Amino acid sequence: MYMRQKDGHIVSYGTYIAVWFGLLVFTILTVAVAGINIRVISVIAPLLIAAIKTLLVLSFFMHLKYEDGNLKMMLSGAVVILAIIIGFTFLDISFR
Amino acid sequence: MPDADIDIAVENEKDYTGSKIGMWLFLFTEMLLFGGMFLLYSVYRSIHPQDFHNGASELSIMIGTVNTIILITSSLTMAISISATQKGSRNLSTIFLALTIILGLLFLANKCFEWGDKFHHGIYPNSAELLKDSSGKVLFYGLYFVMTGLHGLHVLVGVILLSVMLILVINGKNNRKDYIKLENSGLYWHFVDIIWIFIFPLFYLIT
């Protein structure tokens, strides 16, 4: 009884298959969008789609949706640090 | 002797939350490792847009797309395997974990094929053929080989890790009551999938 892993939220197979289907649709969409030859769309759209796909994987496959606030806060901390590194580097190279 | 009972209980208690947090902390370091490379990619891309454009159009969107679908599907089978373990169906968990490993190997096989094709055309780090090209192109292929190579290495490590997990699931060490090892391996596998979700558009699609 004491050995039981308590925090296990069981996600149904159906939910996983739905998420997988969503990921497939976004993959096809991103390949389709890549054909469009407008500079802004062909750069921003694939990155936006990648971010959405990441959110899907994080929330459902990695169970973040079912975790408490601590993990989410820690992850946001790491993401913010990465964003600062990337943002400040670009501030640097674009104003040289 | 209620006190003795409690002592035994405390001894046997595993810190599952701590275990999971530890895995996430490791994934954060991985995120910053790959993040640094994505940063290099974006900076060099902004300096050499035309060369990166030409480089990306030389990669096969077909192979990239197939590999994306393979990895996404392997994430699905991984997640199902964990759910099956949570529900106590060991056979289903075993089958889907084995499927995940096979898909991982399939991804690596595709990658070998893709790299082999590039090698065949004389394109590999520091090759004479590549060095004849512009410096932007050299940078593009340098980043391509390093990033997909490091990612491939992660897939390989994942395959080995999941193979160990397969043994633990089959012999019942990973079970309905204690599946944290399988769960943490799953987190790693999904993380590797996320890295690919970004590598794919950056190298293959954005031309």
| Domain ranges within chain A, ordered by starting residue | 8-62, 68-96
- Is B10 within the bounds of a domain? no
- Is B197 within the bounds of a domain? yes
**Domain containing residue B62:** 17-205
pTM: 0.92
Angle of the A69-94 helix axis to the B16-47 helix axis, nearest 10? 20
Instruction: Give contacts of A54 with chain B, Cβ < 8 Å.
Output: 194, 197-198
pLDDT value, residue B2: 55
Chain B residue nearest residue A54, CA to CA: B194
ipTM over 0.85: yes
- Is B85 within the bounds of a domain? yes
User: Which one, of B24, B92, B72, B45, lies nearest residue B206 by Cα?
Assistant: B45
Phi/psi zone of residue A67: left (φ > 0), alpha (ψ -120 to 50 degrees), beta? beta
pLDDT value, residue B7: 57
Specify the CATH number for the domain of residue B172: 1.20.120.80
- Residue A33 makes CB contacts below 8 A (sequence gap 6+) with A41, A42, A45, A46, A49
Condensed to tens digits (0 to 9), the pLDDT of residues A5-39 reads: 655 789 999 999 999 999 999 999 999 888 777 77
Could you tell me the pLDDT band of residue B3, with boundaries at 50, 70 and 90? low
Condensed to tens digits (0 to 9), the pLDDT of residues A38-95 reads: 777 778 899 999 999 999 999 999 999 999 899 999 999 999 999 999 999 999 988 8
- Is B131 within the bounds of a domain? yes
Instruction: Give contacts of B180 with chain A, Cβ < 8 Å.
Output: 5
Condensed to tens digits (0 to 9), the pLDDT of residues B185-207 reads: 999 999 999 999 999 999 998 87
For chain A positions 24-83, those within 8 Å of chain B (CB to CB) are 24, 27, 30-31, 34, 42-43, 46-47, 49-50, 53-54, 57-58, 60-62, 70-71, 74-75, 78-79, 81-82
- Is B41 within the bounds of a domain? yes
Mean pLDDT rounded to a whole number for chain B: 92
- Is B2 within the bounds of a domain? no
Q: Name the residue with tokens 């974990």.
A: B97
**Total structural domains within chain B:** 1
